[in-house]
């Protein structure tokens, strides 16, 4: 985290000023956001599949939903077919 803290010290300070978070809390938020957006498309697909599966969704419901979510990701993921999404999860 020290590297990220150095790179994003101004953002951490801004969060502290605007949200009331302490420096450690603001640094943790920045680290969490960076981690979230550094997730690869494959990691995202696997994570979302597991989350939705645990909520009782079927694969027929999950894969179109995940495909739509991928298109809306802040860091654009490649366009993946439903078959490619299944292959990421099941190999």
3-state secondary structure the chain: CHHHHHHCHHHHHHHHHHHCCCHHHHHHHHHHHHHHHCCCHHHHHHHHHHHHHHCCCCHHHHHHHHHHHHHCCCCCCCCCCHHHHHHHHHC
Q: Quote the pTM value.
A: 0.65
What is the count of structural domains for the chain?
A: 2
> What pLDDT score does 75 carry?
62
For residue range 7-43, what is the model confidence (pLDDT) as tens digits?
Answer: 899 999 999 999 999 999 999 999 998 888 888 888 8
Same domain, 17 and 45: no
| Domain carrying residue 62 | 41-90
Same domain, 29 and 67: no
């Amino acid at each position: 985290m020290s590297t990220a803290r150095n790179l994003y010290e101004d953002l951490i300070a801004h969060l502290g000023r605007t949200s009331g978070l302490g420096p450690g809390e603001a640094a943790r938020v920045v680290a969490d956001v960076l981690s979230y957006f550094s997730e690869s498309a494959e990691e995202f697909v696997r994570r979302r599949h597991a989350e939705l599966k645990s909520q009782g969704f079927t694969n027929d419901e999950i894969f179109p939903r995940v495909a739509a979510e991928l298109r809306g990701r802040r860091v654009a993921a490649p366009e993946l077919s439903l078959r490619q999404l299944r292959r990421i999860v099941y190999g």
